[in-house]
């Protein structure tokens, strides 16, 4: 891992965003205490009485911001990790991570401070762009291997002349690029039967 | 990564499911606009007035589908990645990923289109099968190493005769299979003290 | 992966926690059936009638426990994986994972059994400690590489005397530790022009 600069960069931005989510969780707890609005009766009992087991608009706002983070940052953690392993250009990869990170930070600030309407949506849309880009690149990179995997199950064995002396049974893959990048699996043995 | 065919296949199906989740998020936004039901006053103000800051059954349905995805697809992203690294049979692994992927797509369709009752539950249960299978295989594969790690802390040093000339201090592990698959850690040094 | 003992240990504890989340999901379903409180009309219709499409405090409690798990266990899955790749001390790493795992299990038990007030919060806080520790260690380990990446774009080429006979153009990085741990990227070539 210490040799993959893109992965290190991805780990940095991802961890910044996870810490940002922890901060939202801490803010939610503080708002609950300040507004005296608890989700559980046992918490309300400890903080003044059962009447404080109630909903509050400020608390719900924090929870919506946190949920939106889960819906978007968690997929980024996965997409970014796979994308980093696909050997992308470091500069382009860094740009993907930075745009997402900035977009999500602006999104949270706009959510919690209740900024005017299109700010939050714009930050959300901006942050989705690198996610869609990475998802597309992953699909483009993995589809051939995945499709090849299925077609391998339709391989046929053919007999070919071998050095003029005999015949050799070989597995005939329907995918000509079969041995280029993935090492042969355990089923791809070639058997030689001299007559 | 490009050498691990199972991991490539897993990356493909996982990314398909993440894109599916992004589609659910986009549908939620469209339903919010069409039904005029916004979660935040600032959004409602921009789209007709504060009276549209309200809940709507169709929006809540989308949100439940999205939440169920988070509860099930995110764990799959982790389990599948670890499982792929355990060197499983490519055909079996592909079957795990495909069943989960199809189950979750049917689940979302059944949720959003409000299909008759057991459809969604059946798709959910079907998709859980490969998750439980992968979790079980990971636990079976990792438990010995994890248990060994703890017992290593109870190692003892013993002195054994060395080539008839002296004695050598060796760390005696309580786990006989200690050196088979994990390289010796920094604490497992052997010291030789010739007398 | 089979060579990284810390990663195996992390995979074990993570999978235990994911299975724990699956158990919470199963409990939620059972409570829904027992309390006859369904989220969707199609489920209520199959289980007695539309009047059972309703909320229930016991069901909501399960859902809050599950949501809190998502907010905290999913980040752990990421932080722990990156942290494991940073080559930490196996004993210290194991302690991080164990504390988090125990904290989250106690949190769920305290939530579902409605234990007295500070129990759940204490378990939550205890489980956050290893998360913050891992996040901090990841940031400390990745910040220099990430910062270096940006500064690399400001490299300059300088000419230096070469073996008394000529001059050699070298890329001058603004970061002196440039070549210590990351292999040179495609842009870091050195050209030699003898005069």
Cβ contact A157:B34 at 8 Å: no
CB contact under 8 A, C71 and A74: no
pLDDT at B145: 76
CB contact under 8 A, B21 and A75: yes
Mutation pick from C71, C76, C111 vs chain A, by most beta carbons of A within 10 Å, is: C71
Confidence band of B38 (pLDDT split at 50, 70, 90)? very high
Confidence band of C148 (pLDDT split at 50, 70, 90)? low
User: Which residue of chain C has the CA closest to A9?
Assistant: C146
pLDDT per residue as tens digits for the range B76-97: 999 999 999 999 999 999 999 9
Confidence band of B149 (pLDDT split at 50, 70, 90)? low
pLDDT per residue as tens digits for the range B154-176: 444 444 555 555 555 444 333 33
Q: What is the mean pLDDT of residues C20-28?
A: 97
pLDDT at A154: 47
User: Which residue of chain A has the CA closest to C114?
Assistant: A42
For residue A156, give the 3-state DSSP assignment: strand
| pLDDT, one tens digit for every residue, chain A (195 residues) | 657 889 999 999 999 999 999 999 999 999 999 999 999 999 999 999 999 999 999 999 999 999 999 999 999 999 999 999 999 999 999 999 999 999 999 999 999 999 987 899 999 999 999 999 999 999 999 988 777 666 655 444 444 445 555 555 444 333 333 333 444 444 433 444 433
The two three-digit tokens of residue A99, written as one number: 């745009």
DSSP for C30-77, please give it.
HHHHHHT-BSSHHHHHHTT-GGGBS--HHHHHHHHHHHHHHHHHHHHH
Residues 6+ apart with CB under 8 A from B179: none
pLDDT per residue as tens digits for the range B11-26: 999 999 999 999 999 9
Rounded distance between C-alpha atoms, residue C87 and residue C67, angstroms: 31
pLDDT at B146: 75
pLDDT at B2: 59
Choice between A51 and B1, residue whose per-residue pLDDT is larger: A51
Query: What does pLDDT average to over chain C?
Result: 82
**Which residues of A are less than 8 Å from C118 in CB distance?**
46
- Report CA-CA distances (Å) from B177 to B70, B144, B149, C11, C17: 40, 10, 12, 20, 27
pLDDT per residue as tens digits for the range C50-71: 999 999 999 999 999 999 999 9
Rounded distance between C-alpha atoms, residue C27 and residue B183, angstroms: 41
pLDDT at A4: 85
Q: Which of A64-68, C41-45, C72-76 has the lowest mean pLDDT?
A: C41-45
Looking at the partner chain, which of A87, A117, A150 has a beta carbon nearest the beta carbon of B43? Answer: A117
Whether this prediction's pTM lies above 0.90 is answered by no
pLDDT at C117: 79
pLDDT at A117: 79
Q: What is the mean pLDDT of residues C180-184?
A: 40
CB contact under 8 A, B3 and A181: yes
pLDDT per residue as tens digits for the range B102-116: 999 999 999 999 998
pLDDT per residue as tens digits for the range A40-49: 999 999 999 9
Does the pLDDT of residue B57 top 90, yes or no? yes
Looking at the partner chain, which of B74, B131, B149 has a beta carbon nearest the beta carbon of C90? Answer: B149
pLDDT at B180: 37
Rounded distance between C-alpha atoms, residue B29 and residue B26, angstroms: 5
User: Which residue of chain B has the CA closest to A120?
Assistant: B43
Cβ contact A185:B5 at 8 Å: yes
User: Which residue of chain C has the CA closest to B151?
Assistant: C91
> C45-60: string of b/e by CB count within 10 Å (b at 16+)?
eeeeeeebbeebebbe
Q: What is the mean pLDDT of residues C7-15?
A: 96
pLDDT at B171: 41
Percent of chain B with pLDDT over 90: 68
Q: What is the mean pLDDT of residues C30-34?
A: 96
* Cα of B192 to nearest chain C Cα, Å: 25
Residues 6+ apart with CB under 8 A from B91: A153
All chains having 3 or more CB pairs closer than 8 angstroms to chain A: B, C
Mutation pick from C6, C7, C11 vs chain B, by most beta carbons of B within 10 Å, is: C11
Cβ contact C23:C32 at 8 Å: no
Confidence band of C27 (pLDDT split at 50, 70, 90)? very high
Phi, psi of A160 (to 5 degrees): -125, 150
Q: Supply the ipTM of this predicted assembly.
A: 0.77
pLDDT at C162: 54
Number of A to C CB contacts under 8 A, please give it.
Answer: 86
Question: Residue B189 CB: number of other CB atoms within 10 A?
Answer: 10
Phi, psi of A55 (to 5 degrees): -95, 155
Cβ contact C120:C105 at 8 Å: no
Choice between A148 and B71, residue whose per-residue pLDDT is larger: B71
pLDDT at A3: 73
User: Which residue of chain B has the CA closest to A180?
Assistant: B3
Looking at the partner chain, which of A3, A12, A45 has a beta carbon nearest the beta carbon of C142? Answer: A12
Q: Which residues of B touch A (CB under 8 A)?
A: 1-3, 5, 8-9, 11-16, 18-19, 21-22, 25, 39-43, 45-46, 66, 70, 74, 77, 90-91, 94
């Amino acid at each position: 891992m210490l040799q993959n600069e893109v992965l290190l960069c991805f780990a940095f931005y991802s961890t910044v965003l996870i810490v940002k989510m922890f901060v939202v969780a801490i803010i939610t707890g503080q708002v609950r205490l300040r507004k005296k609005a608890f989700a559980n009766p046992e918490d309300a009992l400890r903080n003044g009485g059962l009447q404080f087991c109630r909903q509050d608009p400020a608390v719900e706002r924090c929870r919506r911001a946190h949920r939106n983070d889960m819906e978007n940052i968690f997929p980024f953690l996965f997409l970014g990790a796979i994308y980093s392993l696909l050997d992308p250009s470091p500069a382009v990869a860094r740009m993907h991570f930075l745009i997402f990170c900035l977009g999500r930070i602006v999104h949270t600030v706009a959510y919690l401070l209740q900024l005017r309407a299109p700010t939050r949506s714009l930050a959300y849309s901006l942050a989705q762009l690198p996610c869609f880009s990475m998802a597309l690149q992953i699909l483009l990179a993995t589809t051939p291997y995945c499709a090849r995997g299925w077609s391998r199950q339709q391989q046929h064995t053919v007999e070919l002349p071998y050095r003029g002396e005999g015949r050799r049974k070989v597995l005939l893959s329907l995918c000509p690029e079969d041995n280029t990048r993935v090492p042969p699996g355990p089923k791809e043995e070639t058997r030689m039967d001299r007559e």
